[in-house]
A and B are shown apart, each in its own frame.
Chain A
Amino acid sequence: MLNYTGRRLLQLIPVLLGMVFIVFMMIRAIPGNPAQIILGQQASPEAIAAMNARLGLDQPWYIQFFKYLGGILQGDLGESLRTRLPVADEIWPHLAATMELAFFAILIAIIIGVNAGIVSAWFQNSWFDYIAMILALVGVSMPIFWLGLLGQWAFAIEFSWLPTTGREQVRDPVNAITHLYIIDTIIQGRFDQLWQVIRHLILPGIALATIPMAIIARMTRSSMLEVMRADYIRTARAKGQKMFWVVYKHAFKNAVIPVLTIIGLQMGMLLGGAILTETIFAWPGIGRYIYDAINFRDYPVIQSAILVVAFIFVMINLIVDLLYSLIDSRIKYD
């Protein structure tokens, strides 16, 4: 197990290196000069030339690349061209905002998606099954923009149950320590604020959860359907076990592996930030951070933020792989 983990971690090095290189080359292939865009329409040619020189953008690409790579190896993610702040300082609040939302969304997606999948498989071809699977189809094809604005209109304006946008009640802001507001409010004992933070999570959380929820439900259902036909299920039922336990304990345990894979992939994707959800709900997450950086051709931010997101993505996949052997003792590494 340890051996396997070590090997997998070593394999990460070429993957991440290759990714750094591809991203580096790709963003330089897009037309548009960062200095011109950052300084805006108002800037004079001298200002642009001076900025290019400060940023080192007047040097050949390979020099820029090795300088950047050297920085990364020393743990330096570079400095934002636009705000002149170290990317390492800037990235955490955004990543924390995205993590909070992503965990919340995946939690909703798992609870509803897995159960809907199980019940659908259990009562295959029942009305519940049909409705759940139609909803799942609608869910994967739902445009987030529309869903988000509709949610705001219904739950914030018509019923005034939930806030429309943001992470906190700005008139009573959370004192950010870890930037994970749920944790921050708990450590500070501000349970009134904790409640506000959770209320702010609900609408964007549901909007973000829709697609993973649908995918998880469909995957759970099909995986369960296969298992339910297995002999040992019949044996369990023949022993007179309650159907609920047969389904949730015996069957689900054996159907969980593909579901786990999907959850891992979805989680990784959510942690990469969701530009649409973050834009509609004014969520200051990593997706918007990267999107803004692309618009401003903020090369160091694009490179480093994608690197961090990719790292998280592969780490989650690794964790999922390791979980397999914990859940299913038939799977062994080494």
Chain B
Amino acid sequence: MNKKRMWSAALLLMLVLSTVLAACSGGGKESSGSTKDTLVFGRGGDSTSLDPSRVTEGETFKVTVNLYETLLNFGEQDTTIQPGLAKEWETSEDGLTYTFKLEEGVKFHDDTDFNAEAVVKNFERWANGDADKFPYYNSMFGGFKGDEGHVIDSVTADGDHTVIIKLKRPQAPFLKNIAMSMFAIASPTAFEKGDDQFERNPVGTGPFKFVDWKTNDSITIEKFDGYWQKGLPKLDKIVFRSIPDNSARLNALIAGEIDLADGINPADGEKIEGNADLQLIERPSMNVGYLGLTVTRPPFDKKEVRQAMNHAIDKQTIIDSFFEGRADLAKNPMPSSISGYNDDIEGYEYDPEKAKELLAKAGYPDGFEMELWAMPVPRPYMPDGAKVAEVIQSNLADIGVKAKIVSYEWGTYLDKAAKGEADAFMLGWTGDNGDADNFLYVLLDEDNIGSNNYTYFKNAKMHDLFIEAQTEVDEDKRIELYKQAQEIIHEEAPWVPLAHSTPLLAAAKDLTGFVPHPTGSDLLSNVEFK
């Protein structure tokens, strides 16, 4: 009797469950068709602010590059200088005066006129700030009003549509700096209401205007009808969704809940190429992943040991196994797309015998013991730190070096590495403005020890070359200076440069007009669905 009742109860339960599930399917796959004027862009994290001048973090720029515009733009897929809000510009002979002719008839989203006065007010806002408020302005223009190192002397309006910027001394990458998305021109009416208010209510001249922000979830922007470039943008609405897990983000793309996904694991590349509904998109590389050798810690104070490390590591295997071949083997600290790249340098070939010889020469014929720091987080330039570390560990074992792999939580890792506590550590860098200075000087000069020069490497001759290059306006001469610097870096070998990876994105098959930018901030005004 009891058994019978239990059976019927179980049957009933199954019936209810299957009804519920069947009902669920009624909603079906999130429908396309009528919704194809909206793009849903899935990415790993949320923005921290929508005022690009106040942050240094890439997720913010991904959104703001569509809300605001800069005086100059980068090229579609490179960092050459192109017209932006300024249609023409002139540089004086001495490299001290820049004259920008502005586009006319441009309006901000709040109907304020874009003109020379608005540009001046933006520059005044930054110059009167401090490093806490405008961190990027500080690093790109050498400080603020009244500071010794501040490069900008004055920014003035000449009539309604001409802006003149005078510099105290020439700055070679000045135009590239102006084109960076953090120096976007914002509506003075909006930011004069207060900076904190403005961060959550951005107003620019861009193709899209801000609608809504649900923290850690989504940011919605919509077409700005008064946009000055006719026919753009093509989409009505863009939703940026934060989906932290790479696999879950890919699942959401396959299920059709998002149309475009950033941060695709290299290992998933093939799966996407085999899916008829999806397309795989490669972002042009502007990064470097490397193994840094802290030159203040023996035995890495010896040049031969550092060179031996370069010979010992099998970069090609690392690239084939963990970047799925989607990376270029690195021999310099910057990728070849950056002007000033020295292609004449011959990279250290993988040669354990030679490495052993060098070790013997340095006085370590039997090798030594060291700590090898493995990156705890995946980054485009290092998709799987722990596994790459294992390969390096076994490479080093071949030349008699016993490496112990250690890892810390990311914040701790950076902090300890910056203090010079690591023997050898994995790290990388994605360029901001595509200038050689932004790689070589920032990562390897003595001025940046304690911040981004984690190896504590110092070289007086190289330092002079960098300083000279910063003010050299003649492009050819400047390239020559950087080429020389790379020779010194190659010879001294403070790094084992590993790879310049190609970050991957994936999109629905019918998405067109998406052109990924090497800086990671993608302008979406040309995107549409076929």
Contact = CB atoms under 8 A, between A and B. Distances in A.
Interface in A152-193: 152-153, 156-157, 159-167, 169-171, 173, 176
B423 interface: no
Contacts of B410: 295
B527 interface: no
Contact of B216 (A31, A164, A169, A289): A289
A44 B6 contact: no
A296 B135 CA distance: 17
Contact of B251 (A51, A165, A196): A165
A72 interface: no
Given A163-B257, A243-B2, A149 B132 contact: no
A42 B215 contact: no
A271 B189 CA distance: 42
Given A44-B135, A173-B220, A93 B30 contact: no
Contacts of B412: 30-32
B15 interface: no
Contacts of A85: 200
A160 B40 contact: no
Contacts of A280: 245, 248
B48 interface: yes
B248 A167 contact: no
A84 interface: yes
B218 A84 contact: no
Contacts of A312: none
B224 interface: no
B411 interface: yes
B210 to A, nearest CB: 14
A279 B215 CA distance: 14
Interface residues of A, number: 69
Interface in B389-442: 408-412, 414-416, 418, 429, 432
B131 A33 contact: no
B239 interface: yes
B24 A40 contact: no
A165 B135 contact: no
B131 A282 contact: no
A42 B248 contact: no
Interface string B212-224: 1011111010000
Interface in B131-145: 131-133, 135-136, 138-139, 143
B255 A164 contact: yes
Interface in B19-70: 21, 24-25, 27-30, 35, 38, 40, 48-49, 56-57
A59 interface: no
B29 A83 contact: no
A157 B249 CA distance: 12
Given A31-B412, A176-B214, A288-B216, A160 B248 contact: no
Interface string B189-231: 0000000100110000000000010111110100000000000
Given A46-B143, A170-B218, A173-B212, A54 B132 contact: yes
Interface residues of B, number: 66
A94 B251 contact: no
A41 B218 contact: no
B24 A199 contact: yes
Contact of B139 (A44, A149, A195): A44
Interface in B432-480: 432, 450-452
Interface in B243-264: 243-245, 247-249, 251-252, 254-255, 257
Interface string B364-380: 00000000000000000
A165 B414 contact: no
Nearest to B454: A41
Nearest to B132: A50
Given A47-B138, A284-B214, A284-B216, A32 B245 contact: no
A90 B215 contact: yes
A51 B2 contact: no
A119 B199 contact: no
Nearest to B24: A161
B143 A170 contact: no
A37 B414 contact: yes
B254 A157 contact: yes
A301 B264 CA distance: 30
Contact of A297 (B133, B248, B411, B418): B411
A289 B214 CA distance: 13
B242 interface: yes
Nearest to A119: B6
A84 B48 CA distance: 9
A30 B429 CA distance: 25
B6 A171 contact: no
B24 A165 contact: no
Looking at A32, A37, A195, A292, the one whose CB has the most chain B CB atoms below 10 A away is A32
Contacts of A165: 241, 243, 248-249, 251-252, 257
Given A42-B139, A149-B251, A282-B241, 17 more contacts: A31-B408, A36-B418, A37-B415, A40-B56, A41-B429, A84-B49, A90-B215, A157-B254, A160-B25, A160-B29, A161-B27, A164-B251, A165-B243, A170-B239, A170-B241, A282-B217, A282-B244
15 contacts: A32-B409, A36-B415, A41-B452, A44-B139, A90-B215, A94-B215, A97-B217, A159-B25, A160-B29, A166-B217, A176-B214, A284-B214, A284-B217, A289-B216, A297-B411
Interface of B: 2, 5-6, 9-10, 21, 24-25, 27-30, 35, 38, 40, 48-49, 56-57, 130-133, 135-136, 138-139, 143, 196, 199-200, 212, 214-218, 220, 239, 241-245, 247-249, 251-252, 254-255, 257, 408-412, 414-416, 418, 429, 432, 450-452
9 smallest beta-carbon distances between A and B, as pairs: A32-B411, A50-B132, A47-B131, A284-B216, A284-B217, A47-B135, A282-B243, A50-B131, A160-B29
